[in-house]
Structure 1
Amino acid sequence: MEKLTVQDILDADLDGWRRLAQALHARFRTGDFATGLAFVSAVGEAAEAVGHHPDVTLTYGFVDLKLLSHDVGAVTGRDLELARRINEIARKQGIGTATDPLTEVELALDTADIAAVGPFWAALLTGSTDALSGNDVVDPAGRVPLLWFQGTEAHETPRQRFHLDVWVPHDLAERRIAAAVAAGGRVVDDREAPSFVVLADPEGNRACVCTCLER
């Protein structure tokens, strides 16, 4: 399957779905557990019919779905098609979506020696060095956020080495940044917007608000 670009995904105009770090995400407001369970069951039947399956999180008031073609590591046409089928199921069951809560957090660690620190963090976070894949620690069980290593020059001066990458829907990034600034933060660097904007808290600890745009 061909990998889709961000523009391909935006042009598809999928109601309620947003691409975050890699995959398509959607939250469906089911209101109670029984409704959510029935929705998940119907989604499962649709997924089995096309041989492509979403990641599902079922809680009392909502269902979170994530779509990614794992064999190519990207969003493809089959993800868009299944998203459309899921939206039709939701419409028939009277279930709506909400994009405001959609958020994905990744951890980033500055290092000049990935080969040295990568196995340690893979073992610590997942129990196995096999979780180290290139510049990322990926937990196949989904227990911990993705950790990626950002290459940097060796340095001895104390500095912040860890930061959070907070992925939000592209059309809600400005609102999220404004909320953080209103809560006492500040914008440190917005030269790479809308791809990412660097923020800092009142003590100078930094994080990035990231979107899928211009990548």
Structure 2
Amino acid sequence: MDRISNREILESIAHGLNDWRKLAQPLAARYRAADTGSGAAFVGAVAQASVSAGHDVPDIRLAPGLVDVSLFSVDESGARWVTSQDLELARVISALAREHGLTAAPDEVAQLEIALDTADDTAAGPFWAALLTGDADNTVYDTVLDPTSRVPSVWFQRTDAHKTPRQRWHMDLWLAPETAGTRIRAAVAAGGTVVDDSHSPSYIVLADPEGNRVCVCTAVDRD
């Protein structure tokens, strides 16, 4: 598989793929449509272009006034990566969006992952895969991935075993880099606090007023 790095992806975004943003696994775009008909026509054109290019049809969500598209390729293990073929298809999709009168809204893309601290992901993984996806084998490396993207992915953050109760679940909210700061400021204004910004802009840890933590993540400064 012709997997490419985050740095290469970000360079491609900066040089001609501005409709798109890199999230945890996929390359993602959101397009605003004037009406449902134009959005549906665009979705049909994307599906046809994907098949013509020999690419799997992307994950597409059609909703009133918008279309979300997520691009990735799946390797033999089930892991999801962005490849040069995904970048080529992204260029085609951007051109189709313009032809159908859709407007890109890259600052609105988002992906939610759920993280669980565990000392043994091989024990916890099959349970969560079976519960969330219906198949205990839907674990890839340290992550539960639903092949049909019905539910958020769950990844296991390795930790030492401990007896003292503490927060073990947290959410990772992936955003476009230009949106993360605005979203963090809004969360702080709503009562949150910044717990750790030493890894910014890759991720910043926030806490709600009761101390529950969440990471706001971007693809910047990642390999």
Q: TM-score range by the shorter chain?
A: over 0.9
Q: 1:180 aligns with which of 172, 180, 187?
A: 187
Secondary structure in 2 aligned to 1:15?
A: coil
Provide the C-alpha distance between the structure 2 equivalents of 1:158 and 1:149, rounded to a whole number of angstroms: 17
1:1-215 pair list within 5 angstroms: 1-12=1-12, 13=14, 14-52=17-55, 53-71=57-75, 73-215=80-222
**CA contact under 8 A between 1:119 and 1:129: conserved in structure 2?**
yes
Per-residue CA deviation, residues 109-149 of structure 1 (Å, 9 max, x unaligned), is 00112222222211211222111222111111211110011
Q: Answer yes or no: is the 8 Å Cα contact 1:19–1:169 preserved in 2.
A: yes
The ranges of structure 1 where at least 4 consecutive aligned residues each deviate by more than 3 angstroms after the TM superposition are none
1:31 Cα deviation from its structure 2 partner = 2.8
Q: Secondary structure of the residue that 1:45 maps to in structure 2?
A: helix
- Root-mean-square deviation over aligned CA pairs: 1.4
Report how many aligned residue pairs link the two structures. Answer: 215
| Secondary structure at the counterpart of residue 206 of structure 2 | strand
Q: Deviations over 1:10-42 (max 9, x none)?
A: 222312200010111001111322111111111
Aligned residue for 1:144, secondary structure, equals coil
Contact residue 117 and residue 158 of structure 2 kept, 8 A: yes
Q: Report the residue type matching 2:4 in the other structure.
A: L
1:151 counterpart letter in structure 2:
R
TM-score by length of 1: 0.95
Secondary structure of 2:106's partner? Answer: coil
Identity of aligned residues (%): 53
- Does the Cα contact within 8 Å between 1:47 and 1:82 map onto a contact in 2? yes
C-alpha displacement of 1:91 = 1.2
The superposition leaves residues 61-80 of structure 1 with CA deviations (integer Å, 9 ceiling, x where unpaired) of 11110111223731111111
Gapped regions of structure 1 (runs ≥ 5): none
Question: Helix, strand or coil: the match of 2:7?
Answer: helix
TM-score normalised to structure 2 length = 0.91
Q: Residues of 2 paired with 1:119 and 1:10: CA distance?
A: 34
Q: Which moved more, 1:42-51 or 1:15-24?
A: 42-51
Structure 2: where are the runs of 5+ without partners? none
Structure 1 residue identity aligned to 2:63:
T
Q: Does the aligned pair in 2 maintain the 1:108–1:162 contact within 8 Å?
A: yes
Select between 84-93 and 196-205 the one with higher mean Cα deviation: 84-93
